[in-house]
Amino acid sequence: MIEHDPATPRLQGLFTALATPFTTDGESLDLERVPSLIRRQAAGGAAGVVPAGTTGEAPTLSEREFRDLVEACVAAARPHGIKVVAGAGSNSTAHAVHLHQLAAACGADASLQVVPYYNRPSQEGMRRHFMAVADSCDLPVVLYNIPGRCGAGLDPATVARLAEHPNIVAIKEASGSTDAVTEITRRCDLAVLAGDDSLTLPMMAVGAVGVVSVVSNLLPDVVASLVAAAGRGDLPEARRLHHRLFGLSKGLLSLEVNPVPLKAALARLGLDSGSVRSPLAEASEATRRAIEPLLREAGLLGGAASPRVEAVPA
């Protein structure tokens, strides 16, 4: 087993996959919203935020927007002592290296590096890709395994080989497989973060140390409490919170493609992050209706269907 270097802080706990705040028409970033988004996460107990990931509609961001967004998140996060893990992956190795270095220049604490999508590389191709990124600068790398989006996925044996690189410190495991988490934690000491909210508790039960969460855009305190309960072995409390979040966790990722339902839910709660950006379309009326009972079940709406969530003041 490869032992974790104690000199490198271990990524664990709640990391919120931030929805990118756009203007109402989706044409521009709304960076003025970033400080309040970060304050809510810090107040809720998040260990960090992940801008420019899947939930952040990364493929639609220009390089200038990527830089501006990451810099804004870093500036807002620093006073609260939470980390910024910038989504900086690409299906071009050269471009992934470039974005990784740019994330470092912006002051990010790590970069999230997705499996190259569309290309469908072999395991050896993936290994070479991630090694090139990790070799390019000292910024820590979080691998991102999400075969449903990419058409290819990392095998645990490949993850274990990559874990030998000192700059590769964690993996967001979004394959939906607790067996994959078990295999990874049996083979190496890489920090595993669950990549699906509904699997946070099951994955932590077999060795994950936290989650990169979508639902925590809405309920950072509850998700942080779930992670903390699971981490200390308080199964009854962790199970209670898991059940509270389960319907919303499934609905936000199944009613329509992420982050369409999430942004509809944020708007419903008075936490509007603007439009999704083309080629995504706004949530259908059927999706908006379906979200309502899920928000109630999670405790986000009162009996009169009025929002219970308030923005953290400046």
Distance of alpha carbon 104 from alpha carbon 122, whole angstroms: 28
Radius of gyration of the chain (CA): 18
Nearby residues of 264 by Cβ (< 8 Å), 6 or more positions away: 282, 283, 287, 288, 291
Give catalytic residue positions. 144, 172
Distinct helix (H) and strand (E) counts, the chain: 12, 8
The owner of tokens 């993936």 is 126
Distance of alpha carbon 251 from alpha carbon 254, whole angstroms: 5
Q: Peptide bond preceding 259: is omega within 30 degrees of 0, i.e. cis?
A: yes
3-state class of 209 per DSSP?
coil
